[in-house]
Amino acid sequence: MSYKDEYQFWLENDYFDQDTKNELLAIRNDEGEIEERFYKELEFGTGGLRGVIGAGTNRMNIYTVRKATQGLANFILKQGTQAKGVAISHDNRRMSREFAEEAGLCMAANGIKAYIFDSLRPTPELSFALRTLGCTAGIMVTASHNPPEYNGYKVYWEDGAQVTAPKDTQIIDEVQAIKDYAEVKSMSMEDAKKAGLYEIIGSEIDDAYMAELKKQIIHPEVISEMADKIKIVYTPLCGTGNLPVRRVLSELGFKHVYVVPEQENPDPNFTTLEYPNPEDPKAFTYALKLAKEKDADIILATDPDADRLGVYAKDTRTGEYVSFTGNMSGMLIAEYILRERTATKTMPVNPALVTTIVTTNMTVPITQAYNVKLIEVLTGFKYIGEQIKFFEQTGSNNYVFGLEESYGCLAGTHARDKDAIVAVMCLCEVAVYCKKQGKTLWDMMIDTYEKYGYFKETQYTITLKGIDGSKQIAEIMDKLRANPPKAFGDLKVLKFRDYQNDVILDMESGAKTTTGLPKSNVLYFELPDNAWCCARPSGTEPKIKFYMGVKGDSLADAEAKVAKLTEDLKAQL
């Protein structure tokens, strides 16, 4: 059907409710808006669904959520694992509860028991819950840090990680195979509960989750001694982190935790935020103000589904608060864990740290210093979680820590996705350890740079929305793939990695080798002196992202080098 036919079908078919039809009638004279909503189906990709909330095939609504869930249910039934059930959680966004309930009722109608949280919970707790309950899969309704008009739907498998190959594409095939909305099953909540196919879960999972987090503490005696001597400002950015973060810090004995009142409670409109993302400095406006009032040592922000952590810490020399990238905070936690587990002889045998190809190269000298194996995977924390599964299956290594540059990390194996709650807890332990030594987190960061090198990373993003956006993004990638740059400014390209075609090209000799990783639409340029650049279309937003990294002799040198590399990249584009 054409987009016009699809629009008319939604207006006339009794399957769609009157509110949906009223929303569509309101745009009947806006041809561009009708086309945008109906020119395609909202893509169920390898990370699930994510899109603007509204009526239409290219929007997040109860009908697209039901269809996605029916495809997942069909896959589960073919796997023969339906008896295990599915765990479902959601964040604070508009329609999140409704989408979670619709997913649960669709599963129930297919004879698959749904375990659904009684209210909003963080993404990492969903990962923990499905493993604790022994479920075959999990669904998390969230759009993470996207703007308020978005919502999304992530699918997890029984190991607790988001689905990876080949199951991801097999589930996509099942979703795409549904051509008629009438194929989608549902039932009433009353009937689902009577049939024992819809169970509410809550505090018992919370308690077990908290117990697992606290197992990651290395020096409880230092926390006991110093917890009342440190001041922490925290903002959940109007999302899911407030209760679990406050609970774990309270139970560990931290006395001075000040929560930003304007961003304490769940708010689907994110009223005090332009963009609910801890990567955005503007998200810290209220937190910085409160930190100055309280003379806080550190400022912490979790994104709406509490899988990412943003950090500021005081520089005592200037009295100003300094922002930390995800690479910086991740390296602080990693260095602390590796150093202290080595010192206390609690490091497991065959330890491994897992990171992604666009994360800081500082991981190399740090892991070498402590004789820890470094494993690099594709971008996306699901690939880090997948490595934990491989370790358990083969016994080859023991997972110690995992991180990605996008403000996400995981200490422990209780979850298989990045976990900002455990990251908050770990970073607060690092902060009190520093405090005991008369240092701040910023002092420790400088110590780390001095020891391993001044690594610096940045991103350059091009946003291309609308119907033509994806085509333009594809054209940029095709151009770079067909004619890879020989240099970025005065930095020669040493090797060119094309993960889509599974090839590494030595630019001088012409020799070709394989990447050793799954196929993905990612291009990577290895440059001299620990410099690099990587191009990757976003899987969740209409963007193409360019990641860059350098190594300098000082903060200023690294800053200058990464700024020049960014300008040289722009010149190539």
**Does the pLDDT at position 239 exceed 80?**
yes
Tens of pLDDT, residues 460-473: 999 987 668 888 89
Question: Where does the pLDDT of residue 47 fall: very low under 50, low under 70, confident under 90, or very high at 90 and above?
Answer: confident
Tens of pLDDT, residues 137-168: 999 999 999 999 999 999 999 999 999 989 99
* CA pair distance 261, 547, nearest whole angstrom: 35
Residue-level pLDDT at 303: 97
Q: What is the mean pLDDT of the chain?
A: 96
CATH code of the region 228-451: 3.40.120.10
pLDDT > 70 fraction of the chain, expressed in percent and rounded: 99
Question: Which residues of the chain form CATH 3.40.120.10?
Answer: 40-203, 228-451
Tens of pLDDT, residues 427-461: 999 999 999 999 999 999 999 999 999 999 999 99
* CA pair distance 157, 131, nearest whole angstrom: 9
Residue 323 annotated as catalytic: no
Kindly give the pairing relationship between strand 309-315 and strand 320-324. antiparallel
Which single residue is written with the structure tokens 């190399």?
364
**Does the pLDDT at position 411 exceed 90?**
yes
**Does the N-terminal peptide bond of residue 166 adopt cis geometry, omega within 30 degrees of 0?**
yes
**For 366-373, what is the mean pLDDT?**
98
pLDDT > 90 fraction of the chain, expressed in percent and rounded: 94
Which run of H or of E encompasses 482? helix 469-482
Q: Could you give the C-alpha distances from 457 to 197, 276, 406, 538, in angstroms and in order?
A: 48, 22, 11, 18
Catalytic residue selected from 96, 127, 144, 406: 144
Strands of 416-511, DSSP E:
454-463, 487-488, 491-492, 495-498, 503-506
Question: Where does the pLDDT of residue 349 fall: very low under 50, low under 70, confident under 90, or very high at 90 and above?
Answer: very high
Domain range 40-203, CATH class? alpha beta
* CA pair distance 376, 388, nearest whole angstrom: 13
Residue-level pLDDT at 540: 63
Which single residue is written with the structure tokens 């051509």?
179
- Residue 207: CB partners within 8 Å, gap ≥ 6? none
* CA pair distance 151, 93, nearest whole angstrom: 7
- Residue 433: CB partners within 8 Å, gap ≥ 6? 219, 222, 226, 336, 340
Residue-level pLDDT at 23: 97
Question: Which residues of the chain form CATH 3.30.310?
Answer: 454-572
**For 58-70, what is the mean pLDDT?**
97
H, E, C per residue of 241-252: CHHHHHHHHHHH
Q: Which CATH number fits domain 454-572: 3.50.50, 1.10.150, 3.30.310, 3.40.1130?
A: 3.30.310
* DSSP bridge partners of 498: 503, 523
Residue 432 in tokens: 């009190």
* CA pair distance 270, 92, nearest whole angstrom: 10
**For 537-560, what is the mean pLDDT?**
91
Number of residues that this document lists for the chain: 573
| Rounded-to-10 torsion of CA 94, 98, 104, 108 | -160
Which DSSP symbol is given to 410?
E
Residue-level pLDDT at 154: 96
**Does the pLDDT at position 417 exceed 70?**
yes
pTM exceeds 0.85 for this model:
yes
Cα dihedral sign, 259-262-266-271: negative
